[in-house]
Amino acid sequence: MEIRSFPDQARKRKKESEPTTDDFYKIGKELQNRSGQNLAANASENRRFREFFGTGANVALIAWQLLVYYDLVPESGLILHMLWGMFFMKVYPKQGPGSAAAGGSNGAIDVKTWRKYLWPFIGAIAELEPYVVSDYAVIV
> Cβ(116)–Cβ(81) under 8 Å?
no
Residues in the chain: 140
Please give the chain's pLDDT, 140 residues, in tens.
444 444 444 444 445 589 999 899 989 988 888 776 666 667 888 899 999 999 999 999 999 999 999 999 999 999 999 999 999 999 998 888 888 888 876 777 888 988 999 999 999 999 999 888 877 766 66
Question: What pLDDT does residue 102 have?
Answer: 83
- DSSP state, 51? H
Q: What is the pTM of this model?
A: 0.78
Question: What pLDDT does residue 5 have?
Answer: 42
* Alpha-carbon gap, residue 85 to 125, rounded angstroms: 9
Q: DSSP of 62-125, one letter per residue?
A: HHHHHHHHTT-PPTT--HHHHHHHHHHHHH---HHHHHHHHTGGG-PPPHHHHHHHHHHHHHHH
> Cβ(93)–Cβ(102) under 8 Å?
no
- DSSP state, 17? S
Question: What pLDDT does residue 137 have?
Answer: 62
Residue 72's contacts (CB-CB under 8 Å, 6 or more residues apart) are 66, 124, 127, 128
Question: What pLDDT does residue 8 have?
Answer: 43
> Cβ(117)–Cβ(86) under 8 Å?
no
Q: Which of 41, 26, 89, 86 is nearest to 60 (CA)?
A: 86
